[in-house]
Amino acid sequence: MKNSILLLSAFAIFTGFLLGSQSSYAQEAEHKKHQYSILEKDENEKRNPIPFLPIFSEDGTVYGITDSIGNITLEEGLTFFIRSFFYQDREFIVEPNAEKVILLERAEMALEEIEIRSFQNPVDHLKHLNKSFQSAFDKEAFLSNFRGYYAVQQREKYVDFFEASGISLHSESQKWKPYNFVQAWGGGSAYQFLVPLELRRSHHWDWTIGDTIPARNTSPSTDRPDQYSIKPFYARELVYAFEYSWPLSSSNLKFYDFQYDLENGKEIILFKSKDEERVKANSDLFLIGEGKIVLGESGESIESITINFSKYNYVAFPKNRNGRERQMGGSLLVNFENYRDKVFVREIGLKSKLFGPVNIGNPRPFQKGSEVTIIEKILFEDFQFVQSKKDLASLEKGFGFVGLETMAAYDPEYWSSNALVSPDLFNLIRRDLGSKIGLNDQFQANSGKRLIPVEKDLAYYKDYLSKLIPQLELISQRLSGN
């Protein structure tokens, strides 16, 4: 199954994801360039543009993305590939006299290979599944323990690393308002608070001196050309953006195309954003792309959802506000867990490239070639509902005030047996970041310090932490049953 094979590798492919019209954001090249139109030929031979479709280079990375009308500018003499869940694979060479139109046909699944149980099409199937999923996913505030890491790549080198474990507070259900989601620098912590109780983090690599620099030497000021303000666990914001308009809500099904497929012998449902329906309804799909829904063995439950997105509209900005397109694209994975008749997010995985003037990376102002890729993984476990509004208000106050800034001390013994990052990835990070200053030495240097240094009222802040952290450690132990 071509699509099934593609799905298995999609998450890795999007590590090198580049978003946006190549004519707008691609690096300058010496090759002559030609504009191509990527079109779909439907059953009636009608040609329709395919917007936001990734075009791959020979090395497997994404060269660029078609714009809103299916156009993209490509370099002469190079070979390009089209790989999609929904269209037949295509390889072509950009030549000066070649036709500048690429016609794609749908890669239809042989449905007789799938054991259809009760539903003859995926839309009816999802309507059935979403009835139980939505009621189980919509729930009161809850606590959980978490483990997670985040790494940043730039120019094919790891330039930052952060790993933490601690306690999480999910303070709202799905009934949030998108444009009120992010307050100031709140980001994903607006409703999903993460408070580390164990922490290790590197210095940040500085390209100007070819060495790592401690966090205390960086500044949150947007006026500095070397400013660096990427904060860990950006995936939280993207999950909420996706949740608002994902196909796991029946009211959003009209915004997607669907088809069945198989993966490792299991039934899955592929989906693809229909941008024209979104525009017609004047609705908001914060993440535009295509992906898959993995079903349980019986086809009566949802195990996970993945979207390979080529466009993200900032969840805090209204439709008409400038700067809401975040100029990023990648792959977002959400795994679910059923617990006591409720559905919880068990795992979040993100690989995404950020680039252009409206990104969150270094340097400022943006320079072509300095795009950054963020890689994140977060696991949640030991779920427990918050029993009263009074308790919730107290927890929100403490979690919101502290967030990731717990100034946790680095404990080598803890991390020797509790690391979430894989050994292979950690070795790559250590090779890049520890080339001049050992990574363990960086962990020790950042032990007990703030992520973004603030000297004002530091004594008061430390005193507050000395009272809060022991309480949170006790809650975390109770959650895990220890």
For 241, 313, 392, the CA distances from 179, given in Å and listed in that order, are 10, 11, 23
Would you state the structure tokens that stand for residue 330, as one six-digit string? 């990648």
Which of 46, 79, 104 lies at the terminal end of a domain, its last residue?
104
Distance CA 199, CA 187 (A): 20
pLDDT of 79 = 92
Distance CA 236, CA 283 (A): 22
Write down the residue that tokens 């794609």 correspond to.
104
Q: Are residues 125 and 51 in the same domain?
A: no
CB 183 within 8 A of CB 253: no
Position 96 in a domain = yes
Count the domains in the chain: 2
Which of 72, 104, 136 lies at the terminal end of a domain, its last residue?
104
Position 112 in a domain = no
Write down the residue that tokens 């240094």 correspond to.
453
pLDDT of 482 = 64
Q: Are residues 56 and 150 in the same domain?
A: no
Which of 50, 81, 104 lies at the terminal end of a domain, its last residue?
104
Task: Considering only the C-alpha atoms of the chain, give the largest distance between any 2 of them, rounded to a whole number of Å.
Answer: 72
Q: Are residues 352 and 415 in the same domain?
A: yes
Q: Are residues 153 and 83 in the same domain?
A: no
- The one-character DSSP state at 325 is B
Q: Are residues 93 and 123 in the same domain?
A: no
Position 338 in a domain = yes
Distance CA 120, CA 125 (A): 8
Position 35 in a domain = yes
pLDDT of 47 = 86
Distance CA 376, CA 64 (A): 23
Distance CA 70, CA 36 (A): 8
Domain CATH for 36 = 2.60.40
User: How many residues in the chain?
Assistant: 482
pTM: 0.81
Q: Are residues 140 and 58 in the same domain?
A: no
DSSP secondary structure, 402-458, as one string:
HTT---PPP-HHHHHHH--S-HHHHHHHHHHHTSSS-HHHHHHHTTT--SS---TTH
For 76, 181, 251, the CA distances from 176, given in Å and listed in that order, are 48, 7, 16
- The one-character DSSP state at 463 is H
Residue 250's φ and ψ, nearest 5 degrees, are -60, -25
Write down the residue that tokens 């239809």 correspond to.
108
Q: Are residues 49 and 185 in the same domain?
A: no
Residue 194: strand pairing partners = 168
Distance CA 20, CA 71 (A): 11
Tell the burial category of 381 from Cβ atoms under 10 Å away from its Cβ (0-12, 13-18, 19+). middle
Question: CB within 8 A of 132, min separation 6: which ones?
Answer: none
H or E stretch covering 273: strand 266-273
For 4, 104, 153, 272, 307, the CA distances from 84, given in Å and listed in that order, are 11, 10, 25, 10, 12
Question: CB within 8 A of 189, min separation 6: which ones?
Answer: 236, 399, 400, 403, 404
Spell out, as residue ranges, where the chain has pLDDT lower than 50: 1-30, 110, 112, 173-174, 182-188, 218-227, 361-363
Q: Are residues 78 and 133 in the same domain?
A: no
Q: Are residues 216 and 296 in the same domain?
A: yes
Position 189 in a domain = yes
Position 113 in a domain = no
- The one-character DSSP state at 250 is G
Residue 131's φ and ψ, nearest 5 degrees, are -60, -50
Position 357 in a domain = yes
Domain of 58?
Answer: 2-104
Rounded to a whole number of angstroms, the distance between the first and last alpha carbons of the chain is 46
Write down the residue that tokens 């299991």 correspond to.
266
For 47, 151, 307, 343, 470, the CA distances from 134, given in Å and listed in that order, are 37, 32, 19, 9, 36
CB 39 within 8 A of CB 103: yes
Strands 101-104 and 90-93 come out as unpaired
Helix (H, G, I), strand (E, B) or coil at 45: coil
Distance CA 248, CA 136 (A): 12
pLDDT of 445 = 92
Q: Are residues 226 and 328 in the same domain?
A: yes
Q: Are residues 249 and 198 in the same domain?
A: yes
Q: Are residues 368 and 425 in the same domain?
A: yes
Position 111 in a domain = no
